[in-house]
Structure formats: C-alpha cells, structure tokens
Amino acid sequence: MFTGSLVALITPFKNEAVDEDAFLSLVEWQVNQGTHGLVPCGTTGESPTLDHHEHRRVIDMCVEAADRRIPVIAGTGSNSTDEAVALTRYARQAGADAALVVTPYYNKPTQEGLYQHFKAIHDSAELPIIIYNIPGRSGVDLSVATMARLARLPNIVGVKDATANLARPLDTRIALGPDFCQLSGEDTTVVAFLAQGGVGCISVTANVVPAQCAALHEAWRIADAPTVFRLRDQLQPLSNSLFLETNPAPVKYAVSLLGRCEDSLRLPLVPVTEATRQQVQAAMTGLGLIG
C-alpha cells in the first residue's frame, strides 16, 4: 500500500521546454527530504500541456532518478480510454510502481462508462492503478458503489480523493475495507482525511516543504497527535495560499522563490497575480523558507 506524503510533482519549464536538470534536481531533493512517493505527470505537473514525448520522458526521468528508493506513481490519465491505456502501458514498461488515472474529463460518462473506462485500462496493463476522483476538474464523480465494483479488479488498488467531501473516505472505508488505499488530494484537509480512513496524501504543498509534510505523516503513523496538530497548523497558511489561483500557478511561483525552477507555465495557465504572490511570500516567510 502507498502511504504518507506523496508529492504531486511540478514540471519545470525553461525556454518553453521541460527543464530536465531542474526536474531531476527536484526529484533528488524530494527523496533526500523524506518524501514517501513521487507522482509525476498529474494535474500539478501540467500534464494536459505535455506532448506525448514529454509525458513519457518525464515518467522516464522520475523512475530513473528515484532509482527504487521511493515509489513512483505515474500520471497516465486521459479522457480518451485508448490514450490512457497507451500511457499506462508505457508507465509499466518504464518501471513505475503504479499509475494515477483521472476520471475522464469533458466527456462526462455515466457510472457504467466510468467502470468500463477503468476496467479497460486495468485489463490492458499489469500495473496497480490509483483512481483519481476530482469532480471539480473532470465534471464527473465516481460513486462509492462504482468504486467498490472497480475494487474487485485485482489491480485497482486505491483512490486519490479530491472531492473535498470528508464523509467520502469513511463511506469508502466501510464499503471497501481498510486495505483499499485512500489518498487525499486536498492538502488543507489532510489530517481530517486521515482520521476518516485515509492513509496518505498526494500533495501539492510537498513541492515546497517536503520534510514538513513527510514529518506530519510520520507523526500520524506513530499517533503523535501534538506533532500532527502543530504541523497541520503551521502548514495551513501555505496550503491555503497555494490554491488562491488555479494549481499549479501558485506552487510554481513558490518553488521558484526557493530557486528550484523558473516561474514558467504553459498556456492557458499564466503566472499568479501580485496579490497572490504577496500571500505566498507571507506564508513562506512565516515558515522561515524565505527572508
């Protein structure tokens, strides 16, 4: 089972291309800071604007740089089932430990369509699959009943839950049992999600403060409630600031302040406003990350 702080990696850009040196440096930093897993090519990695060659290359780099020290869950989702199948097969070939597959966006399939989409991916690639349920971006919500049906397939092993519905992980735990891997997709509610049956978080905030995010999950694992609550409170202003505008624009700016990438995004995303910059700076200053 995948547990703890798994970072939803940004994809650094330079001169309109993927900045491979910056990406490799980020992976090494994350590993050294104690992050429990790496998630390249997700929403935070701007996967919608990566071409197929770039997408495969980022997965390759992440797997090679991680060098089996921590798991890699490669983003392989698409609203085209055939494309998701191809990317998931590639992730398996590249050596990823699992695939993160988003619910099909824009198409708005029924629950039966969602089931058949994930079953087709499952049947085509022998790789553990984490379903990424994010209704706010995809326009569809995979129900607990459909999740339970999918969980009967041997390689459907978990969910990244970005519904922001804190009843959902408890309902899922009751319906599917404790072995189904529930990962939060919401940094600001991570402790509550863990209390409701979760086992980790695919985190945006961990791009900026990987050691602190990992420490929170380590403290949770040993039932050190005072440390969990202290870290939760310390991280909340930063997590809030990273979602003032569309992710990953704020986190790209935050990581650029650490000198680890350029503040560069691909259209239709644009750099954050001055007001958001000030709030990100204030949160990072409060954590002692910048002067």
Give the three-class secondary structure for 167: coil
Nearest to 199 by CA among 212, 209, 211, 190: 190
Torsion of CA 261, 263, 267, 272, to 10 degrees: 140
Residues 6+ apart with CB under 8 A from 142: 103, 111, 114, 131, 133, 159
Q: Please give the positions annotated as active site.
A: 132, 160
Spatial distance between the Cα atoms of 202 and 190, rounded to a whole number of angstroms: 10
Give the three-class secondary structure for 117: helix
In sequence order, what E strands does the chain have? Answer: 4-8, 13-14, 17-18, 37-39, 73-75, 98-102, 129-133, 156-161, 181-184, 200-203
Spatial distance between the Cα atoms of 212 and 147, rounded to a whole number of angstroms: 32
